[in-house]
Structure 1
Amino acid sequence: HHNSKWTKDHPLNNIIGQLNRPVSTQLQLHKQALFCYYDAFLTSVEPKTYKEALTQSCWIEAMQEELHEFERLEVWEIVPGPDKVMVITFKWIYKVNGRNFKE
């Protein structure tokens, strides 16, 4: 086991991971990455409500990123909603308008 170098072409400070593990090929790493994506796809279910979204950090982060993009692009200015007025969700607007456009 080498302490200063792993091989002459791969100095120890360039090695990622544990030295006692075998070297992974690009194909092996690609397969592992695809499995991770597949696993994430199967375990990730889009929340149906805002309350559900607030229970998962990945959805909180996604919502924050979306809001920051709106601010960055100056798409709109976020203001508090008026009192005693029902707020219409984007999902509802899309479903209603989507049906109207298809007819």
Structure 2
Amino acid sequence: MGQILAVAPEFTEVLTWILHYGDSATTPHSGRQPLIASITTAYKSGASSTSSMSPPANAAFVGAMWYRPVPTSCSGGDVPRGARTGLNVVNNAIVLPAPWWGWRGGR
């Protein structure tokens, strides 16, 4: 998000994928929608950093946390170059209202 605002391309597209792991349930991406709304508003207003982002109207804050494991093997065939260089990490993002210092939540 920060890179999109700093670079300020003429247009941008944020992609998410619905993941399937065998017979397990689909991983929903609806938790990221408020974050996307925050960056969309900042981008359209010409903001150049994430410090200009704010939660959507009527939201005290927005945030999401996600985990995407890196596959450790490929079925059938060669493993793509660099496939084992990824890291299994937890990613997160949160947007707080300004001014955020001393923020305790609730309204």
TM-score band (shorter)? under 0.3
Find the structure with the greater CA-based Rg: 1
TM-score (norm 1): 0.20
TM-score (norm 2): 0.19
Structure with the largest fraction of strand: 2
Larger relative contact order, structure 1 or 2 (CA cutoff 8 Å, min sep 6)? 2
Structure with the largest fraction of helix: 1
